[in-house]
Structure 1
Amino acid sequence: MEEGMSDEAQAAPTLPLAETLTVEFKSDRKRLPDDELVESLVCMANTDGGELWLGVEDDGTPTGLHQAHQNLFGLPGLVAARTSPSLAVRVEPVELAGVRVARITVPKSSGEVATTAGVYLRRRIKQDGTPECVALLPHERSSRASRFGLVDVSAQAVAGATLADFDPLERERLRQTVRQYGGDRVLLELDDEAMDGALGFTTRDEAGQRVPTLTGLLLIGRETALRDKVPTHEFAFQVLAREAVAFNEFRRFPLLKALDWLETNFRPYNPEREIQVGLFRVPVPKVDMGAFREAVANALVHRDYHRLSAVHVRLDDDGLTISNPGGLVEGVTLDNLLITEPRPRNRTLADAMKRVGIVERSGRGVDTIYRGMLRFGRPEPDYSRTDSNSVVLQLDTASADEVFLKLVVEQEGRQGGAPLPIDSLIALAALREHKRLSAEGLASHIQRDAVRARRTLERLVEAGLVEAHGNVRSRSYTLSADMYRAKGEQVAYTRQAGFSSLQHEQLVLGHVRHHGRIQRSEAMELCRLSGDQAQKLLKRLTADGRLVKQGEKRWTFYTLGDSECA
């Protein structure tokens, strides 16, 4: 069997209901030209991959393959020969509604694929929701390459830029920033040229002359140079109160000045008060400034500088929203944000910002954002509006849960001032919101497996912050009685912790008194126990003579014992 051809004996796949970004239908009644077929496959490979159904009309009606395409064994070879680099597709013959069609599976390509005629295409969704193929333009090819980590545009020279485009005042701001934020102090010992080389601010042109890179212009460039030579760089700060615009300004400052400007203008809208925790006064801001700084810096550093769109920082009645052009880089998803290794789109720029001290040296800035929300008892950061075109982060500005904050701060004090591990903080926040969780339930919150989640929960049990209920197989967890008591919610604790073993016994005996008998399944439902827990309860009552076992195996039931009848 030729490579790329599937076994026809396999179970037939199901025809999708309609065309999407990853599904294409192509009619073959008049024999689809090879060039058009290859272009459609290139188009899909340069987007998200998918499947092309040959012999199916646009409305999803199977009409069959043309006589020239009945033999599909040569199709993978034809596609490979007419694409560069060669595209490997998988072809399956499928019987639908009495006709034979072909499903061609297209892999997502990490690089750009073209036809051998030099045609680059990509797939997109039109305003009416239907897909189409359009040209993959040069700047889009560069953008795609940076998304896959194949090209670092921030390390490349900026056309027309010279060393005169660097601003001495911004150089001095950079040195002050290193001192203020605890950056790499080795940088302070370097002269300008050595610093430019260490941070990737310059590179060499073909004549061997030093010229500014995108990183250099973004960090220490003059505003006029940025406006003329990096037109995609722009950011906005907006404040909307009940739909009224209180602040709305767009700027093109170099990044360190941009962060100072944004923080200065944000502070008047970020009131802060203090609460007493033991001997210390703990500030409680509307938005944690560490989380704000990290989120804004991430948006400016990781944005796609090929796209003509601004980074937006917007404060409104629903909270703080920070968005930047360019979706998540390849390999980073909403399901692994907390655990994936850092994959910066602009590696040189990200490294420079880390060395200056603006963003987390570890690359785990998302932890800082989560911590800045959760330790105040606020909801998790919300990235749900993120798509392939932009990353959107929403931070809820709900009132802080002061009791929760106090408990976290006190626990950190017992640990010698060390912050709670981020997994532990997420676990406490999830239990605060959901009241009761299993290890499997927590796993999705910390984006790890159930074993790691259980280990996190058991450490919190040892610390006295969480209580475990049930046996190992059906173990669930709640916040501890002390935490509920501190919040004045003792009734809520009792409701979540469930009934005591004595109460379970009384429920079972009361049921038998009223109904004459009880089975294990009824005890499970009545007391909300697992099968093993219900069996142990019934066995204990039988051993005490309070119940009598009747029947065997699946017909087993229990009646009142002599001691209860008396």
Structure 2
Amino acid sequence: MTPPQLPARESLTVEFKSDRTRLPDRDLIEAIVCLANAEGGELWLGVEDDGAPTGLHIEHQQLMGMAGLVAARTSPSLAVTVTPVQFGNVVVAHIAVPKAPGEVATTGGVYLRRRLKADGEPECVAMLPHDRASRARSFGQMDASAQIVAGATLADLDPLERERLRQSVQQYGGDRVLLELDDEALDGALGLTGRLSGGHRVPTLTGLLLIGREPALRELVPTHEFAFQVLARESVRFNEFRRFPLLKALDWLETNFRPYNPEEELQVGLFRVPVPLVDLGAFREAVANALIHRDYHRLGAVHVRLEDGALVVSNPGGLVDGVTLSNLLTIEPHPRNPQLADAMKRIGVVERSGRGVDKIFRGLLKFGRPAPDYSRTSREDVVLRLPTDPADLEFRRLVVDAERGGSSELPIDSLIALSALRTQKRLTAEELAAYIQRDAAQARQTLEALTEAGLVEPHGATRGRSYTLSAQVYRLAGGQAAYTRQAGFSAIQHEQMVLSYIRQHGLIVRGDVMELCRLSSDQAATLLRRLKAKGVLKQQGERRWASYTLAGEA
């Protein structure tokens, strides 16, 4: 087995501990607990803070009992793997620490977690009660939105907001069964109230957030706040903070956003297709997701900010455990506040399938705009940037025609593929797989379906096949010359280019053919074999050392 490699420096998942003067067991256990309560990682015992290995203290050189010590001094017991690693004439201990599925403490009752400071350096800090609650929710172990709010009473629920809820069910096409229920049954069906041991009902966090009175929200849910901001270069045109219940909040945000969302029209056949600065469906989904999935144990507002070049929506609380930037499009829904999310789905405010991210992507890509950008997301905040670049009207026309021809919306993978081909010009199935966050086989299926629809054309053999937008698509956009450039040269042209190269340079190898003709390795090999079979070229050497010259030359 390859020994672990010593990292260059400490990070969120790497800790160095000097052992020249014996590291106390308490300090060792606390450092391991600190890593386990963050992302897990590795602790290097016998390494200085600057990364220099100085070795283990004589009392730590027998590593057999170290894993048992950790298990005995942590609660619940933490299983670590201890491996000796030699550097020159010194031996250090590599301790692999798993990410704890819940919070873990020392048997002395100390809870610690690892975090990065503002300068990027790691540190261990106390794990406070709200940190523990947030971590439990991130693992799906606790639903804060289903909890009864201490001190809340039914008088804190607003009858006008309950009526707004009923109207929202009708407006957004929600579960119409809800409209047949009386107030008590409605509250129970959506989890707006819970029952105490005595039998009387009191509001849950979901209830207060959806239909709570504003004074009650201010007092009982002080973390709930949102802001709408419009920034123009260095000036602020709009900047207001509110604490409305969520359905009123969505109405208020959309009402204030509409004047800043100009719209043009595109004529497609007999129909006029609106082309807004920001698709309202994507706007609603992004804002609703931020309000629903924020961490209600953290102070901080949900920000909806229109700035030069983008609409930015951010909320406190990073992505929940298991969700990453590389699986946003494919992972099963992981709501931070399940009961609140379920209530909003039944009302119809958000996508009932739980695939709201698809809706956000569709709202940008169908207008030929760049994909949503989550790259500024951190452990503390989710930040979504929706670019407001000028729409590509011809691309929008293409999407409308394709969807009308198929009598349904294009699958999101197909829309991502068309958008990627529009910007990258040529893709392989392996390259598209990264865009759609699926494997190459599924990407190939998407491309072949688009090929059958006449929107995409394949080039080359099966293994080295690449794809471009079809000649029809380029022709509709007035880009016939661009199509010719992207489709590449014909086989005869490739042959002439190879022969011309040899005449100029004396010989050619497969790598030269790949660069000259923009072919894959397999395609270049096939071209050379064809020329050799025709008697035009002769081969010198075998396999990777093969080169080719003109057959008529000595």
Aligned 8 A contact 1:62 1:97 in 2: no
Tell me the CA shift for residue 24 of structure 1.
1.2
Q: Distance in 1 between matches of 2:250 and 2:466?
A: 44
Which one is further off, 123-132 or 222-231?
123-132
Of the three residues 123, 127, 141, the one matched with 2:132 is: 141
Alpha carbons of structure 1 residues 504 and 201: separation in structure 2 relative to 1, 3 Å: same
Of the three residues 298, 301, 307, the one matched with 1:310 is: 301
Q: Distance in 2 between matches of 1:339 and 1:524?
A: 35
Of the three residues 335, 338, 361, the one matched with 1:370 is: 361
Tell me the CA shift for residue 498 of structure 1.
0.4
Matched, 1:472 2:462: yes
**Identical-residue share of aligned pairs (%):** 71
TM-score by length of structure 2 reads 0.96
RMSD: 1.9
Which amino acid counterpart does residue 409 of structure 2 have in structure 1? P
Alpha carbons of structure 1 residues 59 and 249: separation in structure 2 relative to 1, 3 Å: same
Q: Distance in 2 between matches of 1:97 and 1:193?
A: 73
Which amino acid counterpart does residue 54 of structure 1 have in structure 2? L
Which amino acid counterpart does residue 12 of structure 2 have in structure 1? L
Aligned 8 A contact 1:509 1:560 in 2: no
In structure 1, stretches of 5+ residues that fail to align are 1-9
Matched, 1:415 2:422: no
Of the three residues 270, 280, 283, the one matched with 1:279 is: 270
Tell me the CA shift for residue 75 of structure 1.
1.2
Map Cα deviations across residues 171-220 of structure 1 (whole Å, 9 max, x no partner): 00000000010000000000000011100001112323211000000000
Aligned 8 A contact 1:272 1:283 in 2: yes
Alpha carbons of structure 1 residues 506 and 100: separation in structure 2 relative to 1, 3 Å: closer
Tell me the CA shift for residue 16 of structure 1.
1.7
Alpha carbons of structure 1 residues 303 and 515: separation in structure 2 relative to 1, 3 Å: closer
* 1:232-247 matches, cutoff 5 A: 232-247=223-238
Partner residue, 2:431? 441
Map Cα deviations across residues 84-143 of structure 1 (whole Å, 9 max, x no partner): 111111111122242222111111011010111111111122234322211111111001
Alpha carbons of structure 1 residues 317 and 530: separation in structure 2 relative to 1, 3 Å: closer
Which amino acid counterpart does residue 185 of structure 2 have in structure 1? A
Aligned 8 A contact 1:204 1:211 in 2: yes
Aligned 8 A contact 1:299 1:311 in 2: yes
Q: Distance in 1 between matches of 2:163 and 2:139?
A: 34
Of the three residues 478, 484, 487, the one matched with 1:497 is: 487
Matched, 1:46 2:28: no
Tell me the CA shift for residue 370 of structure 1.
0.2
In structure 2, stretches of 5+ residues that fail to align are none
Matched, 1:296 2:302: no
Aligned 8 A contact 2:175 2:348 in 1: yes
Q: Distance in 2 between matches of 1:64 and 1:456?
A: 55
Alpha carbons of structure 1 residues 381 and 521: separation in structure 2 relative to 1, 3 Å: closer
Q: Distance in 2 between matches of 1:88 and 1:515?
A: 63
Q: Distance in 2 between matches of 1:325 and 1:283?
A: 33
Q: Distance in 1 between matches of 2:169 and 2:110?
A: 47
Partner residue, 1:487? 477
Which one is further off, 547-556 or 425-434?
547-556
Map Cα deviations across residues 446-469 of structure 1 (whole Å, 9 max, x no partner): 000000001100110111101110
Partner residue, 1:32? 23
Which amino acid counterpart does residue 79 of structure 2 have in structure 1? A
Alpha carbons of structure 1 residues 152 and 561: separation in structure 2 relative to 1, 3 Å: same
Aligned 8 A contact 2:145 2:337 in 1: yes
Tell me the CA shift for residue 542 of structure 1.
6.1
What is the count of residue pairs matched by the alignment?
A: 551
Partner residue, 1:4? none
Map Cα deviations across residues 486-536 of structure 1 (whole Å, 9 max, x no partner): 222222111111001232233344445556765655544432334544454
SS at match of 1:73: helix
Which one is further off, 219-228 or 53-62?
53-62
Which amino acid counterpart does residue 389 of structure 1 have in structure 2? E
Of the three residues 217, 234, 239, the one matched with 2:208 is: 217
Map Cα deviations across residues 26-68 of structure 1 (whole Å, 9 max, x no partner): 1222221111211111111111111111122222222222222
Q: Distance in 2 between matches of 1:451 and 1:31?
A: 54
